[in-house]
């Protein structure tokens, strides 16, 4: 068996520091396969490169595996500071100074553009797709001296939900991330059956939901609470509220066990009525983040969202009725966006009561997505154009600069309407400096309500 060092390259704190869950899942798989595992996270280590140097020199890994979470922050207005691959390349170059071990890269960012990212960051091998099965096998072959391909693809048949194991977390990192964000992240399922035209989730995790057993999910929460003392959780599922309502079983199991926790997750603003929100609230739901994405029926249809703005209003109202903070993430400038849809969309957002709205301008174009095909068909993207550095779809029916100015004017003076995204990060950073923890945007909503009452 091999000595394996796993390294999380993520150093961004947007919107808040997040435990490297994917790496921890692969670490658990490696340990179960009998390998000796060490993990390193520069963010949790206070960005102290000397700690990495010491680990490399003392542990002497036989294989080093890097986890790439994000390519960039998908903000068209962020510029170079929103692009993260230089951080990964820097980390790999640093390790090569102190180790001759082969370098393996993996993670969701890599899987989106494997050949381009592999070439850019300078690794020896790449794991494309789910890593729990493939990484232990690849490591065993490397230490056995076998000739291993540069690019290695996970099996076409993904892991069944019952096979998804708990991550191997480090208690000191848990303390760091809980101290920063007050939450610990986990998955109840993988995959997504929806076909939003910009999204990579079906390609990354499969086009069907793969549900973990409800008891296993709640047991993970129970153990985390007992071992780490954390009481708040965030579900990183592509969408928590699946159309079959299996997510409600988790709430029921939490109530059955009388587990006193607070939790949140990503929700689809459809099919969520007050009775469901009330059940979720009783189980500990503290906030909802909606992937609303567009603000009119026309632009929702163009993004192939599969719901209408009336569904968004209903879902938001269900949260308002139960006193659950809600945030909507929306994108202006997508397919079909025009001056008329912009005006209608801004009016529609005014109809959303007691919630926070984060707005983005333009849609990051990623390979294999509907938005890439749309951009090619409309002549907004050249065939074969590189997408490693961000390219954005901006509707040809409206001028982006004037659109951005209209959004800024509409949101001016509101604590709960945030544009550009950097403005949101600035506000959250101020709150973090004042000692606020958690999702943070829900505190913006609380302050706004207090001022309205005052």
* Same-domain pairing of 104 and 223: no
- 168 domain residue, yes or no: no
Element containing residue 417 per DSSP (H, E): strand 417-418
Give the chain's end-to-end CA distance (angstroms, integer). 65
* Same-domain pairing of 335 and 445: yes
- 28 domain residue, yes or no: yes
Judge residue 400's burial from the number of C-beta atoms within 10 Å of its C-beta, 0-12 exposed, 13-18 middle, 19 or more buried.
Answer: middle
- 172 domain residue, yes or no: no
* Same-domain pairing of 139 and 201: no
* Same-domain pairing of 298 and 388: yes
Helices (DSSP H) in 130-246: which residue ranges?
Answer: 131-143, 171-181, 201-205, 214-228
* Same-domain pairing of 202 and 140: no
Task: Supply the pLDDT for residue 7.
Answer: 96
Which one of 153, 174, 196 terminates a domain? 153
Helices (DSSP H) in 149-213: which residue ranges?
Answer: 171-181, 201-205
* Same-domain pairing of 237 and 335: yes
* Same-domain pairing of 279 and 416: yes
Name the token pair of 74. Answer: 């998908």
Split into its structural domains, the chain has a count of 2
- 128 domain residue, yes or no: yes
Q: What one-character-per-residue DSSP string does 3-62 give? A: EEEEEE-----SSS----HHHHHHHHHHHHTT-EEEEEETTTTTT-HHHHHHHHHHH--S
Tens-place pLDDT, residues 246-280:
999 999 999 999 999 999 999 999 999 999 999 99
Neighbours of 301 (CB within 10 A): 15
- 174 domain residue, yes or no: no
Indicate if the pLDDT at residue 451 is higher than 70: no
Tens-place pLDDT, residues 418-434:
999 988 888 777 777 76
Q: Rounded mean pLDDT of the chain? A: 94
Task: Supply the pLDDT for residue 445.
Answer: 79
* Same-domain pairing of 354 and 402: yes
Global pTM value: 0.95
List, in sequence order, every residue forming a beta bridge with 384; answer none if it has no partner: none
Q: Print the domain residue range for 403.
A: 182-453
We report the CATH number of the domain holding residue 70 as 3.40.50.280
- 166 domain residue, yes or no: no
We report the CATH number of the domain holding residue 307 as 3.80.30.20
Q: Which residues make Cβ contacts (< 8 Å) with residue 85, sequence separation at least 6?
A: 68, 71, 72, 109, 117, 120, 121, 388
* Same-domain pairing of 324 and 425: yes
Which one of 153, 170, 192 terminates a domain? 153
* Same-domain pairing of 55 and 203: no
Tens-place pLDDT, residues 278-305:
999 999 999 999 999 999 999 999 999 9
């Amino acid at each position: 068996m091999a000595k394996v060092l796993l390294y999380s390259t993520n150093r961004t704190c947007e919107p808040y520091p997040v435990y490297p869950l994917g790496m921890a899942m692969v670490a658990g798989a490696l340990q179960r396969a009998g390998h000796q595992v060490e993990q390193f996270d520069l963010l949790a280590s206070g960005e102290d490169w000397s700690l990495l140097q010491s680990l490399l020199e003392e542990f002497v890994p036989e294989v080093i595996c890097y986890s790439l979470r994000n390519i960039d922050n998908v903000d068209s207005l962020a510029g170079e500071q929103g692009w993260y691959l230089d951080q990964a390349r820097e980390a790999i170059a640093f390790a090569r100074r102190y180790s001759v071990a082969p370098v393996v890269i993996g993670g969701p960012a890599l899987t989106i553009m494997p050949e381009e990212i592999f070439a850019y960051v300078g690794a020896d091998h790449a794991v494309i797709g789910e890593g729990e099965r493939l990484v232990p096998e690849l490591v065993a072959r490397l230490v056995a001296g076998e000739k291993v391909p540069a690019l290695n693809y996970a099996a076409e048949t993904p892991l069944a939900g019952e096979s998804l194991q708990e991550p191997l977390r480090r208690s000191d990192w848990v303390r760091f991330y809980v101290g920063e964000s007050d939450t610990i992240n986990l998955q109840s399922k993988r995959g997504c059956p929806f076909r939003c035209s910009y999204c990579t989730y079906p390609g990354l995790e499969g086009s069907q939901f793969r549900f973990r057993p409800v008891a296993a999910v709640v047991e993970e929460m129970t153990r985390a609470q007992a071992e780490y003392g954390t009481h708040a959780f965030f579900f990183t599922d592509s969408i928590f509220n699946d159309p079959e309502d299996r997510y409600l079983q988790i709430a029921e199991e939490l109530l059955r066990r009388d587990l006193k926790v607070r939790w949140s997750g990503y929700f689809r603003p459809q099919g969520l009525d007050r009775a469901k929100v009330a059940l979720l609230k009783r189980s500990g739901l503290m906030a909802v983040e909606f992937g609303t994405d567009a603000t009119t029926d026309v632009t929702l249809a163009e993004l192939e969202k599969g719901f209408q703005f009336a569904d968004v209003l209903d879902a938001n109202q269900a949260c308002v009725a139960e006193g659950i903070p809600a945030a909507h993430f929306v994108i202006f400038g997508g397919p079909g966006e025009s001056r008329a849809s912009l005006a209608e969309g801004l009016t529609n957002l005014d109809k959303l009561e007691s919630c926070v709205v984060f707005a983005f301008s333009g849609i990051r174009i990623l390979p294999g997505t509907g938005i890439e095909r749309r951009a090619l068909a409309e002549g907004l993207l050249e065939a074969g154009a590189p997408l490693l550095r961000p390219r954005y779809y901006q509707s040809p029916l409206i001028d982006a600069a004037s659109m951005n100015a209209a959004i800024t004017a509409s949101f001016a003076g509101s604590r709960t309407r945030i544009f550009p995204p950097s403005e949101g990060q600035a506000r959250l950073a101020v709150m973090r400096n004042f000692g606020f923890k958690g999702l943070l945007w829900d505190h913006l909503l609380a302050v706004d309500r207090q001022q309205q009452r005052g």
